[in-house]
Structure 1
Amino acid sequence: MAIIERPVIVGVDGSPAALGAVRWAADEAVRLRRPLRVTHALGVPGPSEEITDEQGLVLNAAVEARHWYPGLRVTTSTWYGRPAHVLREQSRHAELVVVGSRGHGGLHSLFVGSVGMHLARHAQCPVLVVHHAERWAGPESQLPSGPPVVVGADGSAGALTVMEAAFGEASARRVPLVAVRVWQPPSSRLVRRTDPDNLAAELDADLERLRAKDPAVEVEIRVRQGATVPVLLYEARDALMIVLGAHGLSGLTGMRLGAVTQHVLEHADTPVLVVRH
């Protein structure tokens, strides 16, 4: 029986942000030991609009990916359909989907914020949204290699899955991992007060199993008081990436995106990896 490998998929639209997203996707494919698939959505034509074949977009992006990472297996695909829907369907058989946060805009764009947000809500695999991806489009540009990976830990049922993904990123990149737990004082005296030391101990216990996989990863635990979104954005301001769950303590098990993750996606400057539980 043939084994079908789940590729890392990246969407392209011909913009500089697309090329930067390809750079990140190729890097992830190498680290995950997966092939890379470069995908372009041709859109849906209007009554009098003719859609032309744009194979050059994916082929050129594939050439760049092979140049950056010789030996990387790269395939291409071009599909009719709206970008968000095409990538959502592709995610069913993918290890990771990567998109830039903006691009050309208009019918053929894969990189307007709505596409990344749609995938964060509905994709069947983790989604990496690369903000300001055009920073890494140049031939001499280098991906960040020193800053830590930041993970938002909320104590939810899926938090361990999210932290495992973040630890994997930090381990593969040989950078520190910063686990952030945010708490707020209770609004009523009838509610039991939060003990930050207990939160730190719980987080440390959750991370213990991951440390055993790679003791070389430096792990820092930060328990912060305040509003969750501003705290996470502040902690991730100089991070290599921030890793969040698709939904948290609300208990939702469907495809709805958590409010914290949605707001961080809208306002972060660093790449955001959204992990579905």
Structure 2
Amino acid sequence: MIANRRPVIVGVDGSPASLGAVRWAVDEAVRHGKPLRITHALGVPGPSEQAVDEHVIALEAAIEARNWHRGLHITTSTWHGSPAHVLIEESRHASLVVVGSRRTRGFHSLLDGSVGLQLATHAYCPVLIVHHAERWTGPERPLPQQPIVVGSDGSAPSEFAVGLAFSEAATRGVHLVAVRAWREPARRWGRAADLTRLAAAVHDALAADLEPWQAKYPTVPVDLRAVRGTAAPVLLAEGSDALMVVLGPRGRDGFDDLRLGSVTQQVLDHATIPVLIAQHA
């Protein structure tokens, strides 16, 4: 997805959700011509804990991955350490990290609690979080082919997200929906803003920002949407039936020490489809 042969890395823990993530990771690796590395984190052993060979979890996932694509180059690794720490370190040399999520008591459980959130915040490469990933464990369930939604606000992080979204859409042969949310400005001198004119200006700015990417990916059909509303609800609504939502780690007015913006976090918390975070070092 980014650099030459940097692998797609997928975290596994033996759960159906992590196996569903493996299926998405296989698909990403094949589409972008990358090797696949399947990684399992054992956690930190206690002083009296007996050593056990849990590399079998990664090996079993590799067997399933080879069933989905025989020609894919696959390696496995098992490490002591927390899943978040292990995968963040692995992301230093990866093109993409994939993790699955599942619903637990009304909340998303990302492998081990907040692993997905920590990856989205601190990884050194893009992160794909596959919500309800257990849906994709069976070969009888094809991966979706709906349009890809990308949030664009004109910031540098969203520019990187737009590039990733175009790449994903091109390899999958699907439409791209580029969304920019806008809100009605405060009244001045007692006059209401011309909302039709404002919407047109936002649409034109979005079109100008995407023009270089459309020139680079001329075969990708693009739908530009300037939508009135708050960014997170707008993106969740636009992405409700999408293949995935692609976002930058933060938008305009982000701070260097706050690496995950509130909009991105809200979308991660409430999305039911895969979310690709355009994170990079």
Cα deviation for residue 110 of structure 1 reads 6.3
Amino acid at match of 1:101: S
Equivalent residue for 2:201?
198
Q: Write the distance in 2 (CA, Å) between the matches of 1:50 and 1:189.
A: 70
Q: Any idea what the Cα deviations from partners look like across 1:73-115, whole Å, max 9, x if unmatched?
A: 00000000000000000000100000012389xxxx9614510
Q: Which runs of 5+ in 1 are unaligned?
A: none
Q: Any idea what the Cα deviations from partners look like across 1:220-272, whole Å, max 9, x if unmatched?
A: 00111112111111100000000000011123234521000001001000000
Equivalent residue for 1:264?
267
Q: TM-score, normalised by structure 2?
A: 0.90
2:236/2:267 contact within 8 Å kept: yes
Q: Write the distance in 1 (CA, Å) between the matches of 2:223 and 2:278.
A: 21
Equivalent residue for 2:30?
30
Amino acid at match of 2:150: V
SS in 2 for 1:140: coil
Cα deviation for residue 140 of structure 1 reads 2.1
Going from structure 1 to structure 2, the CA distance change for 1:173 and 1:7 (only over 3 Å counts) comes to same
Equivalent residue for 1:123?
123
Going from structure 1 to structure 2, the CA distance change for 1:51 and 1:238 (only over 3 Å counts) comes to farther
Q: Write the distance in 2 (CA, Å) between the matches of 1:248 and 1:4.
A: 28
2:151/2:247 contact within 8 Å kept: yes
1:12/1:110 contact within 8 Å kept: no
Equivalent residue for 2:150?
151
Amino acid at match of 1:269: T
Q: Any idea what the Cα deviations from partners look like across 1:118-149, whole Å, max 9, x if unmatched?
A: 0000000000000000000013221112x100
Q: Write the distance in 1 (CA, Å) between the matches of 2:192 and 2:129.
A: 37
SS in 1 for 2:240: coil
SS in 1 for 2:102: coil
Equivalent residue for 1:227?
230
Higher mean alpha-carbon deviation, 234-243 vs 182-191, is at: 182-191
Amino acid at match of 1:180: V
The percent identity for this pair of structures is 59
Equivalent residue for 2:78?
78
1:101/1:113 contact within 8 Å kept: no
Q: Write the distance in 1 (CA, Å) between the matches of 2:73 and 2:226.
A: 41
SS in 2 for 1:158: helix
Amino acid at match of 1:100: G
1:39/1:77 contact within 8 Å kept: yes
Q: Does 1:208 align with 2:207?
A: no
SS in 1 for 2:114: helix
Higher mean alpha-carbon deviation, 252-261 vs 170-179, is at: 252-261
SS in 1 for 2:272: coil
Q: Any idea what the Cα deviations from partners look like across 1:133-186, whole Å, max 9, x if unmatched?
A: 0000013221112x1000011121332211111011111100000000001112
Runs of 4+ in 1 over 3 A off after TM superposition: 190-194
Amino acid at match of 2:98: V
Q: Does 1:238 align with 2:241?
A: yes
Equivalent residue for 1:185?
184
2:157/2:278 contact within 8 Å kept: no
Q: Write the distance in 2 (CA, Å) between the matches of 1:260 and 1:119.
A: 16
Q: Write the distance in 2 (CA, Å) between the matches of 1:214 and 1:49.
A: 54
Cα RMSD of the aligned pairs, angstroms, is 2.3
Q: How does 1:33-182 map to 2 (within 5 A)?
A: 33-102=33-102, 111-145=111-145, 147-182=146-181
Equivalent residue for 2:17?
17
SS in 1 for 2:128: strand
Amino acid at match of 1:171: A
